[in-house]
Structure 1
């Protein structure tokens, strides 16, 4: 068994380090100057990658993709820990990693709701099912920790969840039922949770660790917004199509296609 006794000078590779969650992890770890942090990226010359190096000059970029075995082997060479996604587990063992930290989910909400289609969330389904598989693996083969949050970024209230002016106040128009609970999480919580885990391995190995989201209904969010802003705030449930039309007024979805997506 690979025994984790100290995080001092530990080598860590972060997948998705130029994205919101991964960047939070990079920021938290690089600020300590106790870890040798590497970030796997498909585009080391991209603006996001260059910005990462400017902000964190002690971070190293690795050119590759975690969606290929070559990229995974490049990433895991001479590393101690890993953050993000899969086939990775097997190559992590082959590469001699000491600790596998996986961004997963603690429950499958689609199953909990009896497979009702409107509750289907592909991201949550994949994360929860891989998490359950990983939780069944022996820690003496490869120590693992499953980092959970299952939340929507609090920062999205400036973009996708942004309220709209309405009379002398504002109104939230979101495709959620009034009784639906949405976990809200500041992006920085991911980095704080991973940093804490690395400092407390014996409390985290073989366990689920929460990044502490705040479970709220949108009526509660509207009420809190009104208390803080002193502006009348309402919430109106809308359809997904209505929501997409509304957010397209300030976000161009065509300019935010996922990597590798084909414009139609």
Structure 2
């Protein structure tokens, strides 16, 4: 059984990876987390999972945590810093985190596969017109890896996860809002055209790990490849229709301006608006880098994924 180090083992993405790895006989997960005494870390340890302290801001801790592993799953923490450092400041920190991870991974002599959570290159794809820092700094790290750690890049796969339906339960700027004096009506307001397609990951807690395991199982066939973890591309108005169907509530869609999103939600709103405006111009992630994209069918995982409507069914008590 091969060992895979899973960064962010107590987080959404890392947790999904660990959950799916436990269903395989080929991989033993090593959960990496900053705080091994957290309740989530203790819960993993109670399942017999190896839990190791590591911090993406500390390369030395990563070198130690990666010892003896065959694979690494890497994820960073852009959103933790955006409020204090700003959009580009958080991006610069994320870039350094990925450099730390890659440098430590390069020193891991047993490593056969490096899987990193990333997102499309909005700046590059738009010719510099549309910049989304939490997309672009990940791709700056990929470009850096090509030059600084070419041996590591040669065995690297990327996974691009779409929009999380769970955002509807946790993020104020994404929630359906019940409007007073409408007799139970809801409004979905986003800085995006009604017809714009939203790339949706489906059930992130299930799907993400399924696709990562698919990449691991593909081995060398997945080297240098991108897996787009998206189950649905839906217009904003259809997102509302699915909400109505699942919850039985009346709802409508209203586009707000980028400026309004920023006034209401600050730096989070500005970054989210930039993301959605880029999606208007580039609705299909599979077409961003088609030569290097490996399909969900090729990974033999498409039929295992849970789509938007079924995901919303599991969340409906939390979104109304």
Tell me the TM-score normalized by structure 2: 0.65
Distance 1:74 1:164, change over 3 A: same
Q: Deviations over 1:180-199 (max 9, x none)?
A: 43321121221000111222
Aligned pair 1:144/2:161, yes or no? Answer: no
- Report deviation, 1:144: 1.7
Matching residue of 1:27: 19
- Report deviation, 1:33: 4.4
Greater strand proportion: 1
Structure 1 gap ranges (5+): 1-8, 248-264
- Report deviation, 1:124: 0.5
Q: 1:44 aligns with which of 36, 40, 44?
A: 36
Kept in 2, the 8 Å contact 1:183–1:215? The answer is yes
Distance 1:202 1:73, change over 3 A: closer
* Distance (Å, rounded) in 1 between the aligned partners of 2:152 and 2:118: 20
Kept in 2, the 8 Å contact 1:108–1:124? The answer is yes
Aligned pair 1:162/2:183, yes or no? Answer: no
Matching residue of 1:11: 3
* Distance (Å, rounded) in 2 between the aligned partners of 1:242 and 1:153: 23
- Report deviation, 1:244: 3.1
Q: Deviations over 1:181-219 (max 9, x none)?
A: 332112122100011122221331222222234222322
Distance 1:140 1:20, change over 3 A: closer
Q: Deviations over 1:139-197 (max 9, x none)?
A: 68852212222x22111122222212232332112333334433211212210001112
Number of aligned positions between the proteins: 232
Matching residue of 2:100: 87
Matching residue of 2:194: 178
Q: Secondary structure at the match of 1:18?
A: coil
> RMSD over aligned Cα, in angstroms?
2.6
Aligned pair 1:72/2:85, yes or no? Answer: no
Tell me the TM-score normalized by structure 1: 0.77
Matching residue of 2:223: 205
Structure 2 gap ranges (5+): 75-97, 269-320
Greater helix proportion: 2
